[in-house]
């Protein structure tokens, strides 16, 4: 390795360290804390809930992509996977642990996907589907802004 490359990698590493330390220092100095309400769950429950949320995210992406291409069958299939059927699969022991506010926001996500299914099999208006998806995303943002899951020690 030539001396120029050694200096380049050394300087890149040094700059990276300083940049990382700066970010950490700013976070500590500003006292940033996670003020979201904690929902205490078991490790298995947390994995299940996060898996469900990833399914929402994947379905949203597939709905968006399929709607852009006008493929209403794919829009319907993606949204149906995470609609009301998924809601009925949530175990009762988990439902009992969820705060009232969470249980008010959560079902709106499933119903939002159902409204996308209904539009896709109905008139298939892409603007309406985009509107439903935008409204649905507000629920996701609200929930993630208010709550976090932690495993009970």
- Is residue 150 over pLDDT 50? yes
pLDDT at 40: 95
Mean pLDDT of 9-29: 49
Q: Using 50, 70 and 90 to split pLDDT, how confident is the model at 138?
A: very high
CA distances from 138 to 10, 117, 127, 134, 142 (A): 45, 18, 17, 7, 6
pLDDT at 3: 55
Q: Using 50, 70 and 90 to split pLDDT, how confident is the model at 32?
A: confident
- Dihedral sign for Cα atoms in the order 78, 132, 119, 109: positive
Q: What is the pLDDT of the chain when averaged over all its residues?
A: 84
pTM of the complete model: 0.73
Q: Using 50, 70 and 90 to split pLDDT, how confident is the model at 77?
A: very high
Instruction: Give residue-wise pLDDT tens across range 104-116.
Output: 888 888 899 999 9
């Amino acid at each position: 390795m030539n001396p120029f490359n050694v200096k380049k990698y050394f300087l890149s590493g040094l700059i990276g360290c300083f940049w990382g330390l700066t970010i950490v220092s700013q976070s500590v100095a500003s006292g940033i804390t996670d003020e979201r309400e904690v929902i205490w769950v078991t490790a298995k429950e947390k994995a299940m809930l996060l898996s469900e949320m990833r399914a929402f995210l994947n379905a949203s992406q597939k709905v968006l992509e399929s709607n852009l291409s006008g493929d209403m069958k794919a829009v319907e299939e993606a949204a149906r996977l995470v609609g009301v059927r998924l809601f009925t699969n949530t175990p009762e022991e988990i439902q009992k642990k969820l705060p009232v506010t969470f249980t008010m926001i959560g079902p709106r996500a499933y119903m939002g996907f159902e409204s996308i299914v209904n539009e896709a099999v109905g008139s298939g208006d892409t603007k309406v589907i985009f509107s439903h998806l935008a409204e649905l995303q507000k629920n996701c943002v609200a929930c993630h802004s208010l709550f976090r899951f932690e495993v009970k020690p």
